[in-house]
């Protein structure tokens, strides 16, 4: 494990928060869900590699890719496109469409990530 600081823990004190970050040249998305679980993902859409989250958001339970509106839960799970979801259609689970997750941990002041498995 090679832990590197990603964001200040103070940026993720509220539930349902998503914060973009960059560590060692890799775009990341750090989230805190309703239960307080903090996770780190590659901030790159599995569809056509767009940046999913470009600015911090608070109070939303999902993040949406701006290119073709794919929607992801704060646990990285692909939920469907905004258009399909609005029409009441939910796709079957497809792990290939989920955001790629990295190990992360919260210290007193920092959320740290380990990008080693991706190298």
Tell me if 58 sits within 8 A of 16, measured CB to CB: yes
Q: How far apart are CA 9 and CA 94, in angstroms?
A: 31
Binds ligand FES by CB under 6 A, chosen from 67, 94, 105, 107: 67
User: Residue holding tokens 């339970």?
Assistant: 61
> Which of 94, 65, 90, 89 is CA-nearest to residue 77?
94
Check binding of 63 to ligand FES (CB under 6 A).
no
Smallest distance, ligand FES to C-beta of residue 16, A: 21
Check binding of 78 to ligand FES (CB under 6 A).
no
Binds ligand FES by CB under 6 A, chosen from 65, 79, 113, 115: 65
Tell me if 11 sits within 8 A of 56, measured CB to CB: yes
Nearer to ligand FES, 17 or 81 (CB): 81
Q: How many residues bind ligand FES (CB under 6 A)?
A: 8
* Residues 21-60 as x/- pattern, contact with ligand FES by CB under 6 A: ------------------------x-xx-x----------
Q: With left for phi above 0 and alpha for psi between -120 and 50, is residue 65 left, alpha or beta?
A: beta
Q: How far apart are CA 119 and CA 116, in angstroms?
A: 5
Under the rule (CB under 6 A), what is the footprint of ligand FES? 45, 47-48, 50, 65, 67-68, 70
């Amino acid at each position: 494990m090679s832990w590197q600081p990603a964001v200040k823990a103070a940026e993720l004190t509220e539930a349902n928060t998503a914060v973009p970050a960059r560590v060692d040249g890799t775009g990341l998305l750090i989230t805190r869900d309703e239960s307080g679980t903090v996770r780190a993902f590659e901030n790159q859409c599995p569809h056509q590699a767009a940046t999913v989250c470009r600015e911090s958001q608070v109070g939303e339970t999902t993040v949406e890719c701006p290119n073709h509106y794919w929607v992801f839960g704060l646990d990285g799970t692909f939920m469907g496109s905004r258009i399909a979801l609005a029409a009441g259609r939910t796709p079957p689970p497809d792990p290939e469409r989920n955001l790629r997750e990295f190990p992360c941990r919260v210290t007193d002041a920092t959320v740290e990530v380990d990008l080693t498995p991706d190298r």
